[in-house]
Structure 1
């Protein structure tokens, strides 16, 4: 029986500094459990949908046995925007009051560099195929979104995935699509065991595991006055998407192999 996912909820007690490398301006914060986190803001560019992608992408990677920093829900109150001198960050803090998402901060980690670092074939294949499955457009040479920490490869930043959920009216169009952008994936040169990775993905991503990951999404993140779909309909649509992608995993393997 698979282990139940338990996402802790913590409170932000100190905003330390912004990480200006990211387009969405995540910040390093301290929480009431005395740990440091990279906080992803609900008030940033892609809003709550980026947090949903981050949450699901991270927990799918973890279910596949990949290294992912702990993800936590983070409560942010309105006191931080009042003391922040930078206007841009002040607005971000103001629009992000409520429940956000944090990744455990890996102190001293370095960005994966394909010219310097190598990665084993099965790990590379799993990451490539997972990113194809979740349509992650943001793991390229330009922006690897991978870290080396304690001599191990860690997967971070899955927020640019599941781009079908930015337009629910057309989500069914994505159910049969492959992912041609996999040709730009930073780990493609090492991904020589895609067939083996596909078997592991099918085994790891049971219906129960997928339902458990989708159930983690806070109701609040799915509520949107501009959407016709209810949160429950959206959860069913995510499940439909996963099942459709798993059903065509051999096509995704072939596409990645041809690209390599």
Structure 2
């Protein structure tokens, strides 16, 4: 299974044009699941929902999962899957950050759960630390606590869990180590990304221990001399049929 997580930088200029560039690259890579963050508007979501199977087919490649809010998509989260979801729900984090932040004020941070057969896909965008040390920033710490509580709940049900998104902390953070106690990082072998001027906090985790090596690679596209987002997309690959679940 080939997975992509991509923060689309939705409030920046020329959103439609940039989203079309990202969508075209997704079309050519044949992902099984795509986890998108900062997709705020329905017309932006349709750019991804309508990705065709090929240049010769009009039928859509993906099923699009999201929840509508009053003005924006909840959490700015959209998940694309090849198969039809059997369940969908957005969970808003109980703890939110500074409401002077535009995203916190209008969207609210949370995670989107999409269930496809026995696979639970969690797509999240957690708080920016705003220059705090991540594990000392109480709202972010409480968000990760809530997320991990849900992960444990699904694991105790015997479900396979796939978790990805923009976590807004680095691999050196204590919060990253918390996640690693419960899940395997499919993107662990990706080195520091030198294509952006800061350290990204984008990861893909799963409950499965893989018996065969996974493919790990960064995903990015250029348009002229500019990237279509301030985040590079991150790709992970896992064969769930050859892995085994962590025991609850």
TM-score range (shorter-chain normalised) is under 0.3
- Using the size of structure 1 for normalisation, the TM-score is 0.25
Task: Compare CA radii of gyration and give the structure with the larger one.
Answer: 1
The structure in which a higher percent of residues are strand is 2
The structure in which a higher percent of residues are helix is 1
